[in-house]
Structure 1
Amino acid sequence: MLADVMHRLAGEGTVRFSAYDGSTAGPDEAPVHFEVASPRAFAHLVRAPGQIGLARAFVDGEINVHGDMYTLLRELQEPHFKRLSKADWKQLAGEATRHARQRAQRPPEEAKLRGLRHSKRRDAAAISHHYDVSNRFYELVLGPSMTYTCAVFPREDASLEEAQHEKHDLVARKLALRPGMRLLDVGCGWGGMVIHAARHYGVRALGVTLSRAQAEWAQEAIEEAGLADLAEVRYLDYRDVAESDFDAISSIGLTEHIGKANLVGYFQSLYGKLRPGGRLLNHCIMRPRNTDPRVKKRGFINRYVFPDGELMGLGHIVRVMQDEGRFEVRHEENLREHYGKTLAAWTANLNANWDECVAEAGERKARIWRLYMPGCQLAFERDEIQLHQVLAVRTEAGDSGMALRPNWEAATPEPAPSEPVAPAS
């Protein structure tokens, strides 16, 4: 019976299994119920063994998960497959053979990008694939901050909104923002950093994004906040920003989309946009080691979530910043535990607003998010991926403008005066 075989893949008492053949295994009161609803699930697995086949079956609804996805993924670890006997594997192989010819087409949600990898046109299509879903969907998942990057939790019990505010403010403090300064935020999303810098620091902030939906939402939010004289978000590739001589640049969650082959040009471009003494804060997901293999170009995350995304190790990124980018790196910190907590909060929002999320983006897209966010949470918790902030300076003649010791671990400042700050001449 299929459920008996599947039950040996999970911890005792945690998961209940059922299958289309009527078999069940595990306690009825288990917090998670894993259901193989159709033999077409095996057709997916025959065509794409492993992670992709399982993901396709889940997105298509051939596999259902009732209960907490995080708990299920935590239990279904790869070592558990060693519990299966030869007889178990024979039964699974026989089931797969019987159903291999069933129709199991590739879900349409898989990204289909064309053109030169990381060309401007293809980058725009990759960003649109993930971000131009529905602004309302993102509001439901991300919360009022509309910030889709790792938060920084000042306390264990801090709310997601507190943590996102702290993240933006930590970036602002590391960049030493002051009234009248000019900030460029590349890959600005829905404008969270731009709005924070203008509202709390009186900074003239420009954000750019390759998502038209993000740019339109952000510009409307800027207008509603009364910050149009200080802040602006453009639908624009960072490579096409005409202005230069910025006092500071923030790159929060963009480097993952740049690609290893383009990293040199990326940091050289940012260096050229800064004035002497200007600071860059690069905040991105990284590999734990420089020797780790890069993200599988055809894995689940790359097919369904972040097409053309590519992660690198901290050492490689710092080397490029220093050697080719000509930056002086002054500080870095690993915030991977914070990203685990951030993803848990986003998952809680998705689950709490499930029906409306499905209405906005469709059940298949919502299923992708329900699978990918807990999976990434586990990856951060297990140190399979990390989140680093690297602070660098365009140092001239040895003058970095930095304090002798880091001075940004201060209390969040009071909001800037409501009256507009005069632009710097």
Structure 2
Amino acid sequence: MSTATRTTTRSTLKIGDVVADLMLDGMAVRFTAYDGSSAGPEDAEIRLELTSQRGLQYLVTAPGDLGLARAYVAGDLLVHGAHPGNPYEAMQKIKDHTKFRTPSAAELVTIVRGLGLSNLKPPPPPPQEHLPRWRRVMEGLRHSMVRDAEAIHHHYDVSNAFYEMVLGPSMAYTCAVYPHEGATLEEAQFEKFDLVARKLGLEPGMRLLDVGCGWGGMARHAAKEYGVQVLGVTLSQEQASYAREMLDREGLADLAEVRHLDYRHVPEGDFDAVSSIGLTEHIGIRNYPSYFSFLHDKLKPGGRLLNHCITRHHNRLEQTGAFIDRYVFPDGELTGSGTIIAAAENAGFEVMHSENLRVHYARTLAHWNDNLVANWDAAVEEVGIGTARVWGLYMAACRVGFERNEVQLVQVLGAKVDADGHDGFPLRPSW
């Protein structure tokens, strides 16, 4: 702790001095507090303003990204110089500056006395926050069907109208694929679904199982563009209702069906192809063997699986951070593509191709943030200012993560070989 802070008495200890002294990696932005104190560069473009004692209590009782997120979502920590629907520039500045160093016992006593013992009492978290991991055991074992359903409900049943504002007409909440520099989000989402279809070798009359089908984008694309019979399943009732409505509206209900159902309860088999776009992040790494074995069993010999999911740049088990876990993806787990490929191979798949689309996800997130900014007032009216802040913050932070190669997006293509070892692939890729 600095000499100034060490010698400060209770009556003169300032919040800005404490923050500046404890910030592990220094101050990249300007910080001001309701007690009139400040820290960080005076000419910084991004300025953080702590407006209330409740915000201070959030920071003190949950140091790091969780406390910052709580204060921000509750409106006690304002970000000046960035729109709340797209705080990307702010996240670039502060993403590496959210950790406090551990003070010594003497320093801690000085801080507590100086700031006041009342700040050690944590306020109730914002209503957007989900239960911590250890309390979710009451909802069932990790990645049980009951607990997975609750986690999916927390994230996806926010509001279909809100998701339309953010995702655009495609209602595709997964990484798009940009065919050229100037591609729009809708063009890129079409290309993503079409790339999946081409990799799966879809042809009229085939049967496709789309697990974790979301709002039915892949089901509609496969039915409309390839004449495929599709069964899509999702744990979100809101998604299933929307998907069925869109299939009826586009006259595709005779080709595609969407059920509100856990993929583990699908009774049909002998599918020509399985698409899994954005599901693997939710199932838990320990469940990879049963997941890939289940999908392998659902395919006929020669059938193909396309697994599209977020991954790490390494293959260590790593749970998501506190903010993402509490506010965005409860129970989410990520690992590297090597772990996914190994699990698929151990389940019997011949892995034919792997492609990293990391930079495409950064662009996708940028477009989603832009959509949220463009529809900010309507979005706030639909879901409330706190939830809108959560989404702006999370998408901007994730964009930075993809740009820095902290996270990736990988498509893995596998085949179920027949008894004679035939996989049905041509000598060279056809997509």
**TM-score interval, normalised by the smaller of the two chains:** 0.7 to 0.9
Q: 1:40 to 1:157 in 2, by over 3 A?
A: same
Q: CA deviation at 1:42?
A: 2.1
Deviation at 1:31, TM superposition (A): 4.3
Matched residues in 2 for 1:182 and 1:141: separation?
31
Shift in Å at residue 23 of structure 1? 4.1
Tell me by how many angstroms 1:93 deviates: 6.3
Match in the other structure for 2:352: 330
Please give the alpha-carbon distance, in whole angstroms, between the structure 2 residues aligned to 1:33 and 1:168.
40
Q: Is 1:384 matched with 2:406?
A: yes
Conserved 8 A contact 1:10-1:76: no
CA-CA distance at 1:18 after TM superposition: 2.7
**Aligned: 1:106 with 2:125:** yes
Residue in structure 1 matching 2:220, options 191, 195, 205: 195
Distance, in Å, in 2 between the alignment partners of 1:170 and 1:72 is 34
Letter in 2 for 1:65: V
Aligned twin of 2:280: 255
Q: Check 1:91–1:333 CA distance in 2 against 1; reply closer, same or farther (3 A cut).
A: farther
Shift of 1:46: 2.3
1:2-401 aligned at under 5 Å gives the runs 2=15, 15-23=29-37, 31-68=45-82, 69-78=87-96, 96-97=115-116, 99-101=118-120, 104-112=123-131, 113=136, 114-290=139-315, 292-296=316-320, 299-323=322-346, 325-396=347-418, 397-401=420-424
Change (3 A) 1:264 1:13: closer
2:195 partner letter = L
The SS at the match of 1:59 is helix
In the TM superposition, residue 108 of structure 1 has moved relative to its aligned partner by 2.7
Instruction: Tell me which amino acid in the other structure corresponds to 1:303.
Output: R
Mark the CA change 1:357 to 1:96 in structure 2 (over 3 Å): closer, same or farther: farther
Q: 1: distance between equivalents of 2:97 and 2:184?
A: 35
Superposed CA deviations along residues 119-144 of structure 1, whole A, max 9, x for unmatched, are 11111111000000100000001011
In 2, the alpha carbon distance for the partners of 1:74 and 1:335 equals 21
Deviation at 1:330, TM superposition (A): 0.2
Asked if the contact 1:42/1:95 (under 8 Å) is kept, the reply is: no
Query: 224-233 vs 15-24, which deviates more?
Result: 15-24
Indicate how the Cα distance of structure 1 residues 58 and 391 shifts in structure 2: closer, same or farther if over 3 A, else same.
Answer: same
Gaps of 5+ in 2: 1-13
Take 1:161 and 1:375, find their aligned partners in 2: how far apart are those partners? 22
Counterpart Cα distance in 2 of 1:158 and 1:11: 38
Q: CA RMSD, aligned part only?
A: 2.8
1:278–1:2 Cα change, 3 Å? same
Amino acid at match of 2:233: V
Alignment check: 8 A CA contact 1:188 1:252 kept: yes
Instruction: Decide whether the 8 Å contact of 1:13 with 1:30 is kept in 2.
Output: no
1:40–1:99: 8 Å Cα contact kept in structure 2? no
Kept in 1, the 8 Å contact 2:61–2:120? The answer is no
Q: What amino acid is aligned across from residue 339 of structure 1 in structure 2?
A: Y
Which ranges in structure 1 are unaligned for 5 or more consecutive residues? Answer: 409-425
Cα distance per residue 1:78-126 (max 9 Å; x no partner):
369799x99x999976665455145611223222331111111111111
Report how far residue 333 of structure 1 moved. Answer: 0.7
Distance 1:368 1:82, change over 3 A: closer
Amino acid at match of 1:133: V
The verdict on how the C-alpha distance between 1:92 and 1:75 changes in structure 2, with shifts beyond 3 A counting, is farther
Q: CA deviation at 1:407?
A: 1.5
Judge conservation of contact 2:60–2:120 (CA < 8 Å) in 1.
Answer: no
SS at match of 2:333: coil
Asked whether the 8 Å contact 1:7–1:15 carries over to 2, the reply is: no
Aligned mates of 2:189, 2:113 — CA distance in 1: 50
Q: Which amino acid letter does the alignment assign opposite residue 123 of structure 2?
A: A
2:351/2:413 contact within 8 Å kept? yes
The alpha-carbon distance between structure 1 residues 10 and 312, as it changes in their structure 2 partners (threshold 3 A), is closer
Residue 128 of structure 2 aligns to a residue whose secondary structure is: coil
Question: What is the identity, as a one-letter code, of the residue corresponding to 2:340?
Answer: I
Distance 2:176 2:61 in 1: 38
Report the CA distance shift for 1:171/1:93 in structure 2 as closer, same or farther (over 3 A). Answer: farther
Residue 227 of structure 1 aligns to a residue in which SS?
coil
* SS of the residue 1:250 aligns to: strand
Letter in 2 for 1:53: G
Whether the 8 Å CA contact 1:7–1:16 is kept in 2: the answer is: no
Change in 2 beyond 3 A, CA 1:317/1:96: farther
Fraction of identical pairs, as percent = 55
Whether the 8 Å contact between 1:256 and 1:284 is mirrored in structure 2 is yes
Distance 1:278 1:134 in 2: 36
CA–CA separation in structure 2 for the residues paired with 1:91 and 1:344:
43
Alignment partners' CA distance in 1, 2:24 and 2:44 = 12
2:9 corresponds in structure 1 to none
Residue 19 of structure 1: CA displacement? Answer: 1.8
Matched position secondary structure for 2:302: strand
